Amino acid sequence: MKGYDLLDLAVRNLRQSKLRNGLTTVGISVGVASLVAMLSLGVGLQQLATRRLAGSGLFDTVFVTSRQDFRGFDKEDDAKAPNPEKSPVLDEPARTRITQLANVTEVEPEIRVMGEVVANGETHFGFVTGLPMSARENEAFDNLKGKFFSSDNADEAILLADFAKELDPKNPNALIGQDITLRYGERQALAQEPSDRPQINGGESSASGSGDDFGFSVVRKQQPLRVVGLIDQEPYGGMRTVSRGRIFLPVRTTERLNMAQFTDMRSSLRGGSGKTYMTLTVRVKDPGKVQAVQDAVNQMGFRTFSVLDATKSLRRFFTVLDLFLGIFGSLALAVATLAIINTLVMAVLERRREIGVMKAIGASDQDVKKLFFTEAGAMGFVGGVLGIVLGFAIGKAINFGTGIYLHRHQLPSEPVWIMPPWLVGAAIAFSIVVSLLAGLYPASRAARLDPVQTLKYE
Amino acid sequence: MLPFSYEGREGRSGAPLCSFAASNEAQMSSTQGSITTPAVLTECVTRHYPMGDSQILAVDGVSISIEPGEFVALLGQSGSGKSTLLNLIAGLDRPTSGSVVVHGRDLAKMSSEDLACYRRNDVGMVFQAFHLIPSMTITENVELPMRFAEVDRAERAQRSRESLGRVGLGKRLEHRPSQLSGGEQQRVSLARALANRPRLLLADEPTGNLDSRTGEDILNLIRDVSLTMGMTVVMVTHERAIAERFAQRSIFLADGKLVSEEVRA
């Protein structure tokens, strides 16, 4: 029998029992909707998490530390790595070598220092963070009030809006364009063995400039800065600093000011190695190249960390979540499958005579089987399409409800339910396949009917 | 008009004794050396059904030969095996032993797919209960065997119109079976049987559900169509008068055995 005849007869037969077949089809659509809703929720949550991480600008970033300074949390990794005492120091030559690696676009030191801002005659404490010019692309600057740094060496500052409110509770925006004074600790190298210096010291013998060969002193300094902008949230979601930064300066400015950092205490103990970095932030051209850069830096003997490491466990979590959501979603479809079997078995019983007549006038067993398969497939297709529509409606309701909930908690609304295009096709195909599988038994039962018996029976 | 039958003829090795009936013409052509291939030839055909511990012998060693274009009636009481024999010739059932050869092909050796193909292309069937699909119009009912034969839509429509026109229902193409009388439904059944232009028409009590006048009309129609189209007709009936009037030859069955044959003069 030709395809269109098969389809025509199948649709005609399905129309004969509109209510029963309609209910079965609705059952399938509920099953598909449930599956689609669950899987789309999984996809939505995963994308939400990924979006947050991607927006943080951390996906293309590798953090590099010296094994001398930090013992890792991964004992297995540490066992494979060189002896920490023999691993290299993260100094200027190392920074240069990392900069020269393929696909590396930027290597900047991680600078965070304590500071005080003097504004309107009052002093306010805050952490100062150095930002590279590339930070402009970070989502934190999407709602920047004012402008970004004019250069990476400018005496300019961008303040966190909360901090600006602290400085000027009445009109924080008025700070833009105004000058403030930053008070900070400058790290000054010791020229000789310290004896009577009042400052913090930790050297062995003298050195010059920022070499710190013999230790350093911390000297209080002041630097006038112009406030050029305000931002609502900290760049990189605050993940790149241990404490929340409130005052942001161009990274070159922070380097030029030679600000003393917490971690300088560790450097002072080492001695003889010149200026070292506690952490270098390496930006990679493409998130896909992060692993390669990470491997190359590891080869140099440094410890590396990237968000990819964190996302591995995140991806594992979402894979398991998707699996369980899929299983729960499939339960309704499993029930719908039983409904299809029931409907078609009933149809076989009711249409015994018709099947017998069809066989008597020339239908083969295969024709009969195909007819029931087509009926099952048609129900699966219609159920699948309706299921997608229903699932979409459920998803919209979930997003709407979540939006209201987030709004009430004064959080920005974000879609947690996302139906990817592939899921539309996959769900319909899955619905048809499941329906065809459900039609296996009724179809073979119909094909096996003995026409003599069915005609005699009637 | 002499009945040609003899019983107790030795069958194939191990096969039961069987009865044989063939037309005088077939016999004559055979004796003269110019052998005509019979339209239907059964040899010692049996069909047994298990019934508990025993076996029901529905057809018990029947051999018949029907020539192309012949109109043969199978006569007998209820349970004589005439419908079972018709089902065997129709390829709806398979013999327990013996052979059923139609147009030179042994149905017992055919696969179920081949049998379906045979029923589709070589055989038309008319039933006592009409067996029309109530949800379809009469045109769609007539088109149904052509769908299985994968006939194109346009040709299907034309052939169904022709078939229905031939049985006098050309103006009721879109009616459903429930809107027709019994006689008209049987006409539709006949039109459906003729749809694929079969060489063999099998009718199982075609007048059983009709009054005598309508039944007569149907049989006249069957006879006319068979003559026009040159079809072989095998009709099951329990009414001897009908058989004598319309069939060229009547074969009598009792308890599954062939008991006698009458050829109309």
What is the model's pLDDT at position B3?
Answer: 35
Write out chain A's pLDDT in tens, 458 residues: 888 899 999 998 888 888 988 998 999 999 999 888 888 888 888 888 777 666 666 677 888 888 776 655 566 666 666 666 667 888 888 889 999 999 898 888 888 888 888 877 788 888 888 888 888 877 778 888 899 999 988 999 999 888 898 888 888 888 899 888 999 988 887 765 555 544 444 443 333 344 455 567 888 888 999 999 999 888 765 555 545 788 999 988 988 888 887 767 766 666 555 667 878 888 888 777 888 898 899 888 888 888 776 667 777 888 888 888 888 878 888 888 888 888 888 888 888 889 999 999 999 999 999 999 999 999 999 999 999 999 999 989 989 999 898 888 877 778 888 888 998 999 999 999 999 999 999 999 999 999 988 887 54
Adjacent-strand bridge partners of B253: B258
- Reported as a single tens digit per residue, the pLDDT across B104-148 is 999 988 999 999 999 999 999 999 888 999 989 999 999 999 999
A366 neighbors A429 (Cβ within 8 angstroms): no
A371 contacts in B (CB within 8 Å)? none
Residue A346: its H or E element: helix A307-350
Cβ contact (<8 Å) for A360 and B112?
Answer: no
State the smallest CA–CA distance between residue A338 and chain B in angstroms: 27
* pLDDT classification of B12: cutoffs 50, 70, 90: very low
Answer yes or no: do A183 and A214 share one domain: yes
* Alpha-carbon gap, residue A254 to A271, rounded angstroms: 23
Last residue of a domain, one of A244, A271, A305: A305
Residues of B in contact with A356 (CB under 8 A): 131
Contact (CB, 8 A) for A127 and A212: no
Give me the domain span that covers residue A159: 61-305
Phi, psi of B40 (to 5 degrees): -130, 130
Residue B127 to residue A455, Cβ atoms within 8 A: yes
> What average pLDDT does range B57-68 have in this prediction?
92
| Adjacent-strand bridge partners of B40 | B66, B102
Average pLDDT over residues B35-48: 87
Which domain-ending residue is among A284, A305, A326?
Answer: A305
- Distance CA(B85)–CA(B63), nearest Å, equals 10
- Length in residues, chain A: 458
Q: Select from A52, A9, A26, A32 the least CA-distant residue to A416.
A: A52
Tokens (6 digits) for B240? 């001897």
One domain for residues A46 and A79: no
A347 and chain B: CB distance < 8 Å anywhere?
Answer: no
CB atoms within 10 A of CB A257: 22
Helices and strands (H, E) in chain A, number of each type: 13, 11
Question: What is the ipTM score, two decimals?
Answer: 0.85
Q: Which of B136, B148, B193 sits opposite A363 (nearest CB)?
A: B148
User: Do A206 and A192 touch, CB atoms closer than 8 A?
Assistant: yes
pLDDT exceeds 60 at position B8: no
Structurally, chain A folds into a number of domains equal to 2
Q: Do B92 and A359 touch (CB under 8 A)?
A: yes
Question: Is there a contact between B214 and B183 (Cβ–Cβ < 8 Å)?
Answer: yes
Q: Nearest Cα to B60, choosing from B93, B18, B101?
A: B18
Of A47, A45, A91, give the one whose Cα is nearest residue A65.
A91
Question: Looking at CA atoms only, how far is residue B150 from chain A in angstroms?
Answer: 5
pLDDT tier for residue B88 given thresholds of 50, 70 and 90: very high
Query: Is 0.80 surpassed by the pTM of this model?
Result: no
Residues A212, A336 within the same domain: no
pLDDT of residue A77: 63
Chain A: closest CA distance from residue B148 (Å): 5
Which residues of chain A does B133 touch, with a Cβ-Cβ cutoff of 8 Å? Answer: 354, 357
Do A338 and A293 belong together in one domain? no
A354, closest residue in chain B (CA to CA) = B133
- Domain end among A256, A283, A305: A305
pLDDT at A81: 63
CB pairs under 8 A between A and B: 69
A50 and A149 fall within a common domain = no
A330 and A210 part of one domain: no
**pLDDT at residue number A58:** 67
What is the pLDDT confidence band of residue B160, given thresholds at 50, 70 and 90?
A: very high
Question: Is the same domain home to A386 and A300?
Answer: no
**Are A189 and A211 in contact, with CB atoms under 8 Å apart?**
yes
Asked whether the predicted pLDDT for residue B13 surpasses 60, the reply is no
Helix or strand (DSSP H, E) at A8: helix A3-16
Closest approach of A25 to chain B, Cα-based (Å):
22
- Residue of B87, B133, B148 lying closest to A362 (CB–CB): B148
Q: Which residue from B175, B209, B188, B212 is spatially nearest to B124, judged by alpha carbons? A: B188
Instruction: Indicate the helix (H) or strand (E) that contains B194.
Output: helix B182-194
Looking at the structure, tell me whether residues A351 and A292 fall in a common domain.
no
A356 and A276 within one domain: no
A254 and A319 share a domain? no
Q: Are residues A198 and A288 in the same domain?
A: yes
CB nearest A360 (choices: B119, B135, B136): B119
Interface of A with B in 14-53 (CB under 8 A): 16
Indicate whether A17 and A67 sit together in one domain: no
Which of B32-46, B84-98, B210-224 has the lowest average pLDDT?
A: B32-46
Min Cα separation A364/chain B (Å): 5
- Name the residue with tokens 């930064």: A245
Contact criterion met (CB below 8 Å) for A333 and A28? yes
Sign of the alpha-carbon dihedral angle for A28, A33, A39, A40:
positive
**What DSSP string runs through A156-177?**
EEEEEHHHHHHH-SS-GGGGTT
In the numeric block, which tokens belong to residue A16? 């004969």
- State whether A361 and B125 contact (CB < 8 Å): yes
